[in-house]
Amino acid sequence: MGRAPTGRAVEEWAVTIMHFEDDKVVREWIGADKLGLFIQLGVVDDPWPT
C-alpha cells in the first residue's frame, strides 16, 4: 500500500454480531478498529496523543 514494512507487531480488535434464524446464521455484521491499526502502522497521526 505504498509504505515500507515496519516489522513492528500490531494489535487490532473487532466485534462480530450474528443474527440467527432456525439455528442458522442469516446476517452478520463485523466492526473492526481500522483507525487504531493505521495509527500503529504510522499511516495516520494519532488524534489522541498521550
Tens digit of each residue's pLDDT, the chain (50 residues): 677 888 889 999 999 999 999 999 999 999 999 999 999 988 899 998 88
b/e map 22-36, b = 16+ CB within 10 Å: eeeeeeeeeeeeeee
pTM of the model: 0.67
Q: Distance of CA 23 to CAs 6, 31, 47, Å?
A: 43, 23, 42
Q: Report the run of H or E that residue 31 belongs to, with start and end.
A: strand 24-32
